[in-house]
Amino acid sequence: MIQIQNYIGGKLIAPLAGKYLDNYDPSLGEIYSHVPDSDEQDVELAVQHAQNAFEKWSNTPAEERCRIMMRIADLIDEKLEHLAAIESTDQGKPLSLARTVDIPRASQNFRFFATAAVQFPSEAHLMESSAVNYTLRQPIGVVGCISPWNLPLYLFTWKITPALAAGNCVVAKPSEVTPMTAFELSKICIEAGLPDGVLNILHGLGPKVGAAIVKHPAIKAIGFTGSTRAGKEIASVAAPMFKKLSLELGGKNPNIIFADCDFEKMLKTTVNSSFQNQGEICLCGSRILIEKSIYEKFKTSFIAEVKKLKIGDPLEADTKVGAIVSKQHFEKINYHIQLAKEEGGKILTGGNVVKVNGRCENGWFIEPTIIEGLPWNCITNQEEIFGPVVTLIPFETEEQAVQLANSTEYGLSTSLWTQNLSRAHRIAAQLQIGIIWINCWLMRDLRTPFGGMKSSGVGREGGYEAMRFFTEVKNVCISLK
């Protein structure tokens, strides 16, 4: 049984209270490792180490911070196969996806923000001949980063890398449901020579160790990705302490499909945007809005394509839909499918639990599920399910499409399909949504502002937005007279 350790002050250590949680392989439905059940004492120790490391790290030349982060990126690439295998085992995602998306993106995050460290600009505002202002952006100190289970190393590194690049020391917590790759990253950081205490990784429960990070007075900023529910709790503690907050939360994303779209490209992408990673990506479309004139054509073609997706052992090369991350989440998705039926939804395909033969016979698998016939305001069309479940909703006019798209409390992302450029621009401006993809999905340029509106979050990540979040700003005004 693998015993995961915390990474504090440059060392791998057991949680101070000596308590552990079970970690499951969702494809097998079996416990395969133990995760530290860390608490306030571990946070206190990590904060002390981070504070001790801060002066040196924040004064380390950006080129040197960049060099160390590049070294970590190289080591992630060298260990790609190993990291992909443990990510797939821990989360249930197809190995092919971990190998081509999750792990490459983790090293890309390190490289991207390593170079941001040396390219981060400052601004100057000249007052003709009377004064010059310049903006001084300095590291904040010790910051907290908390990430979810759906893209474990991908999102964990997306949070910590701008913080490190900007010269902060970090106390970070990956999800207790998928801790393995963050544990491996601890070892990589030691091997790469990251100075002790600059990054500290604590494992354990959100309401326990996560909450202790959020409320620690020496932690001045919190970067969080996870559910809207946890985001609210975090904001209620951190906001009265005037901590900087970046919250990347849930979604109920609409795909908006017009009759004039490139049908084949749209269809292929919509299958992916609905069911990649078992639909457990915050950016997956879960409400598919289709112009009425192509509704039947879309429905028939979509069902046919979705039926071709192979569900099963994530380690098999041709698997497209793997296991659901945990028993609890598996039960939540099944509950929502049942609820959709009670709300009057018609299951067009899927809707069932899948029994996989062989080593995965006790794993948690659910068929990709397509539902139609539900009103826009029912629970199924309003609440995030975060699994392989989508609904189809017809619309007649552009105005109605926009209304439907904006009709939930969320506003994270959308994938809009039309060949009419004027309409695309017009709709983009009207959507209450932070990330708008037109005729594509999940095309990511890491320089762009990333984040949601309404209950999908506060603040933006990516590029300079993230570097600015992790710095304290001063205006320095010098009189020229």
Least separation in angstroms between CB 246 and ligand NAD? 10
Active-site residue (options: 248, 291, 384, 461): 248
Q: What is the bridge-based pairing of β-strands 142-146 and 219-225?
A: parallel
CA-to-CA separations, 207 to 173, 175, 204, 329, 458, in angstroms, rounded: 12, 12, 9, 17, 21
Query: Closest by alpha carbon to 91, among 434, 398, 322, 256?
Result: 322
For ligand NAD, which is the closer residue by CB, 60 or 382? 382
Distance CA 220, CA 238 (A): 9
Q: Is 252 a residue that touches ligand NAD (CB under 6 A)? A: no
Instruction: Determine the interface stretch with ligand NAD among 111-119, 226-234, 253-261, 315-323 (rule: CB under 6 A).
Output: 226-234
Site string for ligand NAD, 438-477 (x = CB under 6 A): --------------x----x--------------------
Based on the shown chain and the rule CB under 6 A, indicate whether residue 384 belongs to the binding site for ligand NAD: yes
Return the number of the residue (424 or 446) whose C-beta is nearest ligand NAD.
446
Bridge partners (DSSP) listed for residue 139: 471
- 319 interacts with ligand NAD by CB under 6 A: no
Angle between helices 80-91 and 62-78 (to 10 degrees): 70
| Residue 150, CA atoms < 13 Å, CB-side half-sphere | 19
CB of 262 to ligand NAD, least distance (A): 27
248 among known catalytic residues: yes
Helices (H), 120-179: 152-165
DSSP state of 384: -
Among 146, 235, 337, 393, binds ligand NAD (CB under 6 A): 146
Q: Which of 234, 256, 288, 393 binds ligand NAD (CB under 6 A)?
A: 234
Q: How many residues form the binding site for ligand NAD (CB under 6 A)?
A: 31
**416 by DSSP, 3-state: which?**
strand
Q: Which residue do the tokens 């659910």 mark?
A: 366
CB of 73 to ligand NAD, least distance (A): 21
Tokens standing for residue 46: 């990590």
Q: Out of 150, 168, 319, 381, which residue is the one contacting ligand NAD (CB under 6 A)?
A: 150
Query: Do the bridges between strand 20-25 and strand 30-36 make them parallel or antiparallel, or are there none, so unpaired?
Result: antiparallel
List the one residue from 113, 386, 437, 470 that touches ligand NAD (CB under 6 A). Answer: 386
> Per CB under 6 A, does 412 bind ligand NAD?
yes
Locate all alpha helices (DSSP H) within 239-349, ordered by sequence: 263-275, 295-307, 327-342
CB nearer to ligand NAD: give 44 or 305: 44
Specify the amino acid at residue 359: R
- The least distance separating ligand NAD from the CB of residue 108, rounded to whole angstroms, comes to 16
Q: In which residue are the tokens 């133990």 written? A: 34
Nearest-10 Cα torsion for 188, 27, 13, 199? 40
- Contact between 73 and ligand NAD per CB under 6 A: no
Q: Is 87 a catalytic residue?
A: no
C-alpha span between 291 and 312 (Å, rounded) = 33
Residue 388 CB: number of other CB atoms within 10 A?
Answer: 28
Dihedral, CA atoms, 153, 155, 161, 164, nearest 10 degrees? -90
Choice between 298 and 437, CB closer to ligand NAD: 437
Residue 177 beta carbon to ligand NAD: minimum distance, rounded to whole angstroms? 6
Task: Exactly one of 282, 291, 384, 461 is catalytic; name it.
Answer: 282
Establish if 251 lies at the interface with ligand NAD (CB under 6 A).
Answer: yes
Regarding 226 and contact with ligand NAD (CB under 6 A), the answer is yes
Binding of ligand NAD at residue 176 (CB under 6 A)?
Answer: yes
Q: Which residues are catalytic?
A: 248, 282
Residues that bind ligand NAD (CB under 6 A): 146-150, 155, 173, 175-176, 205-207, 210-211, 214, 225-227, 230, 233-234, 248-251, 282, 384, 386, 412, 452, 457
